[in-house]
Structure formats: C-alpha cells, structure tokens
Amino acid sequence: MTFNFLMQNFINALQWGSFYALIALGYSMVYSILMLFNFAHGDIFMVGAYIGLGVATALLALVGTSGAALLPGWLILVLTILISMFLTAFVGIIVERVAYRPLRDAPRASAAITGLMIGIILETSNILFLGGSRLKFPQLIESVTYNIGGVYVTNKKIMIVLVSLGLMLALHQFVRRTKYGMAMRAMAYDYLVIPLMGVSMNRIAAMTFAIGSALAAAAGILFGLAYPVLDPYMGVSFGWKAFVAAILGGRGSIMGACIAGFMLGFIEIMTVPAIQILNRLFALNIGSNLRDLIAYSIVLLILIFRPHGLFGEAYSAKLRL
C-alpha cells in the first residue's frame, strides 16, 4: 500500500468525477428553473456518446477518403466534441418541447414520469436502430502514458479532466456574465416576471435543456475515450449516480454540482483502496465488490446530516454560482 497507489486512485477519481460533475450540472440547472428533474438526462448522456461515435466515424471516413491524414487525431476529437455537443443540444430541446413544456402546469409527478418515459424511448430506439450490440468508440488519439515518480498518467486522463474543468469554467462565466445566464438565474427565483421583461420563458427553458444536454454529450464522448465500449443502457446507472451528485451538491447550485460530482468520484474510487487498507490492517476479508454499497452508504450519511446538500439552502433551490 504505497503513496503511488493512492495517487493512482486519486487520478482515476478525478477522471471519474469529471463525468459525474458534467452530467450533474444538467440535472441541477433544469431543476432550478423548472422545479423538475429531467429523468431522461442519463439517457441524453448515452445519446450524446452515440452521436459522438457517429460524428467521429464520419469524420474519420471523410479524412480517410481524402487520402492523407489531413486532420490530426486531436483535431478530429475537438471537432467531434463540438459537433456532438451542438447536435445533442437539439435532443435536449426536443425533450423539453415534447415532454416538459406541455406538462408545465401538470402535477410534478406527471412531468417526472414523462422524463422517465423519454429515457426508455431513447434506450429502445437505440436498440431498434443500432441493434443493441455494444459498439466500440474509435480511439482518436494515441494513448501515451507518462510515468511521474512511479504514478502512471495517460494523456487521455489529463485531457478528460482539463476539458471537463474548462467546460465548467465556461458555464460559470456564462451564467455569471451573460444576459442568458442572468435570465436563467432570474427565472429560477420568479418565473412570472421573466415574460414581463420581454423575455420568452420557453426560450430560456429550451436553452437550459440545450446546455445541459451539450455538457452531457461532452461527458459521453470523454467517457467513450476512457472506456471505449458503448451500450444502450450506459446512461442508466451513470444518470442515477450523477443525479445523486446533483442532490448532494445542493439543488440548483452550479458549484455544488461540480464539487459533489468530483466528491462522488472520489468516494467511489477511493472506497476500494480503503477496503484494501482495512483488510490488511485488521486481517479482514471485505470484497471490493461491496464498493457501491459502501460508497452510497457514505452518501446517505452525508445527506442525513446535510439534507439540503453541500451547497444547498433550506429556503431555495435556485440557480446559483
């Protein structure tokens, strides 16, 4: 049990947390403005990953037919991320239009159910059109492993963490400094006044879904780079766990969603070395397959002591920085 081993896990936890944080943001933003959780969000992450697969494949084919390697791998990756974020944003807009807007005045439970149904529709459509078999995500960049003082880090892991942090920072600036971000925050406080400012509530709602979905798509592609096998149900457990992160962070808090996403990654990943340490110290025999049981018991404990989440406030679930 060395320091290196812990560092290794630490880096894995950062990567894992990036996925949770990016997805949790979508839950938190939508909740704060509509007071509804978009339960299709995990499946939008899945759709984003598949769209990324399609875009990457198309770009590779395009480069392949034009002969030489005109585009380096990293550029294809950047293009894939940007194009897929753009396309997945429209999936989010459609989900809002079809499943949420018509039910805005309906009982909350009904709108939650429609989200779940959209999720099932997305999963089964995927099986219908793509056959349900697992697909391999093309590896757009060569994997390079660096050895930093005995800790092995791949260029992909570094890139995944940096891209995620970059996106979170961009979102933070967007919400803080632009008129759209301001409208989203204002709508979270009092949506009735928004139209009286000449602003269409429907547009702000659609925009929120679009941004959340684009972030989920980025998470999907980054996930595909790290774990290059996609399947139609990949969004289910990921979605639920990111949902846990959104609640743990405090509903509506952007920073909370990010930090709780990383925290969840740490709790999950670090549970395994913790089990190993305990086993060695006390000569126990706890299986590491108990990881999720232990990790989520910890989350449950945190919520018992902080029922409004880490950055949540008792009186409001409004969009905050």
Partner 1 sequence: MPLLEVIGMSHYFGGLRAVSNYNLSLESGQIAGLIGPNGAGKTTIFNLITGIYQPAEGEVRLNGTNVVGKRTNQIAALGIGRTFQEMRLWRHMTVLEHVKMARYSKLSYGLFGAFLDSPQRRKEEKKSTELAMEYMELFGVDQYADQLVVNLPYGAQRRVEMARALAMEPKVLLLDEPTVGMTPEEMVDMIMVVRKAHERFNLAIFLIEHRLRVVSELCQNVQTLVFGEVLVEGTPNEVQNHPKVIEAYIGDQEIDF
State the residues that interact with partner 1 by CB under 8 A: 170, 173-174, 177-183, 185-186, 189-190, 192-201, 207, 316, 318, 320
CB of 22 to partner 1, least distance (A): 15
Contact criterion met (CB below 8 Å) for 156 and 143: yes
Q: What is the DSSP string of 244-288?
A: HHHHHH-TTBHHHHHHHHHHHHHHHHHHHHHHHHHHHHHT----G
Minimum Å distance from CB 269 to partner 1? 31
CA distance 80 to 16: 21
Judged by beta carbon, residue 13 or residue 254, the one nearer partner 1 is 254
In 3D space, the residue among 130, 157, 131 whose CA is nearest the CA of residue 143 turns out to be: 157
Q: CB 196 → partner 1: shortest distance, Å?
A: 5
Task: Please identify, using beta-carbon distances, which residue of 171 and 225 lies nearer to partner 1.
Answer: 171
| For partner 1, the closer CB: 42 or 48 | 48
Q: Which amino acid is at 16?
A: W
- Interior CA angle at 119 toward 206 and 231, to 5°? 120
For residue 40, which of 126, 121, 116 has the smallest C-alpha distance? 116
Nearer to partner 1, 67 or 198 (CB): 198
φ, ψ for residue 146 (rounded to 5)?
-105, 140
Residue number with CB closer to partner 1 (91 or 140): 91
Nearest to 98 by CA among 81, 82, 121: 121
Q: Min. distance of Cβ 202 from partner 1 in angstroms?
A: 9
Shortest Cβ distance from residue 81 to partner 1 (Å)?
Answer: 14
Which residues sit opposite 146 in a β-bridge? 153
Contact 30, 206 (CB under 8 A): no
Residue ranges of E strands in 104-216: 135-136, 145-148, 151-154
Give me the least distance between CB of 184 and partner 1, in Å please. Answer: 11
Shortest Cβ distance from residue 215 to partner 1 (Å)? 12
Within 8 A by CB and 6+ apart from 186, the residues are 193, 194, 197
Q: How far is the CB of 201 from partner 1 (least distance, A)?
A: 7
Q: Which is nearer to partner 1, 9 or 32 (CB)?
A: 32
Whole-angstrom Cα distance, residue 230 to residue 138?
Answer: 11
